[in-house]
């Protein structure tokens, strides 16, 4: 049997009883929703100060997938796998504990904590002293320390069995979704917007995505991949929306009618106007951006103040004090760094000498030259997609991309899954060559391949393969299709 104990994020634990109850119920529901996709028989038990997850299986693959999912559910600060073991006497318990912890203790401080129920020849304190003393002798470089040790070995003894914490894993922390309402995150495909979206998810905010398209279908396909990844990885328990606005007409208007130095600020104000209207139509009260002070000219305090004056909608900037390298490091940690790095830059408005001290009156005066009907028209043409149906949408958008379940004799398969997926479950085809190129590297690596060959993209569910095939077609490659066995 696989058993896990779920530890709540500390900020949940200090809430009032009613708030804590609500948050633990949300977390219980989210865990069930996500883990039941792995196995319908999973059991989640709410014990108020912690939760337990159990399933009648010892499958190593299922264990790995459960650990991966639990590590990405907001509200879990840590979780531990438990082992249920039988024993004959206290020394037998010590031997089994030693088998698990002997390799973890060298050079560490530790203590043993025991909870006991039933009739035994020893007390809980006797068990702690015996097991702790035995481990101290077994691992000479380890040292017992009762207060704030490096490792706490926890056991729960019930009659002739005991539960042992076999391994502890870090969670993402934060609050469970959607305990803190909804937000609309402006996502561009770069590091900043992806990390900002992650922070909002972690804070318990159901995060929807708003994309201002400046680069056509290929640009949108790439950004959808990032949004889909963030949703699938960190907020799979809840339905969210992906909103796309074709902003190219607005950019053209700005290029024609706005002073060069003010273009960046005006563009951001136009985006905030549009975002506010989209948010209002979805009954969302706040907008999220990835802006950081001083990162570019439009992100000075003066310019941000001018940008904010365009709307009464709350604008959240979780990265406001972060350095660029810090943001990239976080992007790498959450799994979007390489995908964001390979996204093309679409800079629709470039000022040779952008102002860093925009004056509100001047900005409003130059904006008056722009035709408000252009902005109104692009907002009216907004596309709102349920991100859970992105697989279907990708299929519709990539309808010109051939999909094959039987490969031609000379076909080459491109396994575009992430490296951890290919390592865990490699694609093995006896009669066809398989090249492993992660989806976030495909756009840069594909031109280096032999273009006289026909290639077929493969991924687990077919979403990424269709989007990537569409992206390659947008780049001018016609020798690419999708393999769906």
DSSP 329: H
Which helix or strand (DSSP H or E) is residue 362 part of? helix 360-367
On the CB side of 330, CA atoms within 13 Å amount to 21
Nearest to 395 by CA among 321, 470, 472: 470
| Residue 17: Cβ within 10 Å count | 8
Contact (CB, 8 A) for 340 and 189: yes
Nearest to 465 by CA among 414, 411, 399, 426: 414
Instruction: Identify the helix (H) or strand (E) that includes residue 369.
Output: none
Give the Cα separation of 142 and 149 in Å (integer). 11
Cβ neighbour number for residue 76 with a 10 Å cutoff: 26
State how far the Cα of 59 lies from the Cα of 61, in Å rounded to an integer: 6
User: Which among 72, 111, 457, 459 is annotated as catalytic?
Assistant: 459
Cβ neighbours of residue 265 closer than 8 Å, sequence gap 6 or more: 298, 303, 306, 307, 354, 355, 358, 363
Q: CB neighbours of 345 closer than 8 A, spacing ≥ 6?
A: none
Active-site residue flag, 457: no
Measured distance CA(420)–CA(294) in Å, rounded: 36
What lies within 8 Å, CB to CB, of 95 at 6+ separation is none
Give the span between the Cα atoms of 27 and 73, in whole angstroms.
8
Determine the 3-state secondary structure of 158 from DSSP: strand
The answer to whether residues 357 and 300 touch, using CB atoms and an 8 Å cutoff, is: yes
- Distances in Å between the Cα of 192 and the Cα atoms of 64, 165, 265, 330 are 30, 38, 18, 10
Task: Give CA torsion, residues 47, 49, 54, 59, to 10 deg.
Answer: 180
Handedness of CA 426, 430, 436, 438 (dihedral sign): negative
Token pair 């009669």 is found at 431
Give the residue numbers marked as catalytic.
Answer: 459
């Amino acid at each position: 049997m696989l058993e896990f104990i779920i530890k709540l994020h500390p900020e949940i634990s200090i809430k009032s009883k009613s708030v804590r109850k609500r948050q633990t119920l949300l977390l219980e529901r989210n865990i069930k929703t996500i883990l039941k996709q792995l196995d319908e028989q999973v059991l989640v038990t709410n014990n108020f100060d912690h939760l337990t997850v159990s399933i009648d299986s010892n499958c190593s693959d299922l264990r790995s997938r459960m650990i991966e999912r639990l590590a990405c559910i907001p509200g879990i600060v840590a979780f531990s796998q438990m082992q249920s073991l039988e024993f004959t006497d206290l020394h037998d318990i010590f031997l089994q504990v030693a088998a698990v912890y002997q390799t973890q203790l060298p050079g560490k401080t530790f203590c043993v904590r025991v909870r006991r129920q039933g009739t035994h020849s020893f007390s809980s304190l006797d068990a702690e002293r015996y097991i702790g003393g035995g481990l101290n002798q077994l691992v000479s470089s380890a040292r017992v320390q009762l207060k704030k040790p490096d490792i706490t070995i926890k056991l729960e003894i019930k009659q002739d069995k005991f539960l042992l914490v076999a391994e502890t894993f870090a969670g993402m922390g934060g609050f469970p979704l959607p305990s803190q309402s909804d937000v609309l995150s402006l996502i561009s495909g770069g590091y900043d917007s992806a990390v900002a979206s992650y922070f909002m998810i972690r804070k318990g905010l159901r995060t929807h995505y708003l994309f201002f398209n400046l680069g056509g279908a290929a640009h949108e396909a790439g950004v959808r991949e990032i949004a889909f990844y963030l949703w699938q990885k960190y907020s799979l328990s809840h339905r969210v929306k992906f909103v796309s606005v074709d902003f190219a007409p607005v950019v053209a208007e700005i290029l024609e009618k706005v002073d060069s130095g003010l273009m960046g600020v005006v563009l951001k104000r136009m985006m905030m106007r549009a975002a506010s209207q989209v948010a209002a139509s979805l009954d969302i009260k706040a907008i999220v951006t990835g802006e950081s002070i001083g990162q570019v000219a439009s992100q000075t305090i003066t310019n941000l103040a001018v940008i904010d004056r365009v709307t009464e909608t709350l604008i959240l900037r979780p990265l406001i004090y972060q350095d660029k390298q810090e943001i990239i490091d976080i992007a790498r940690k959450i799994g979007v760094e390489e995908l964001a790095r390979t996204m093309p830059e679409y800079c629709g408005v470039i000022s040779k000498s952008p102002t860093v001290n925009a004056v509100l009156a001047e900005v409003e005066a130059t904006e008056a030259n722009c035709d408000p009907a252009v902005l109104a028209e692009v907002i009216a043409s907004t596309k709102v997609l349920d991100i859970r149906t992105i697989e279907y949408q990708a299929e519709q958008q990539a309808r010109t991309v051939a999909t094959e379940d039987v490969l031609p004799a000379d076909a080459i398969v491109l396994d575009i899954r992430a490296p951890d997926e290919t390592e865990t479950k490699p694609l093995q085809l006896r009669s066809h060559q398989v090249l492993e190129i992660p989806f976030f590297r495909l756009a840069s690596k594909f031109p280096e391949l032999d273009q006289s060959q026909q290639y077929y993209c493969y991924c687990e569910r077919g979403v990424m393969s269709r989007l990537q095939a569409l992206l390659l077609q947008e780049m001018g490659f016609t020798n690419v299709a999708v393999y769906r066995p």
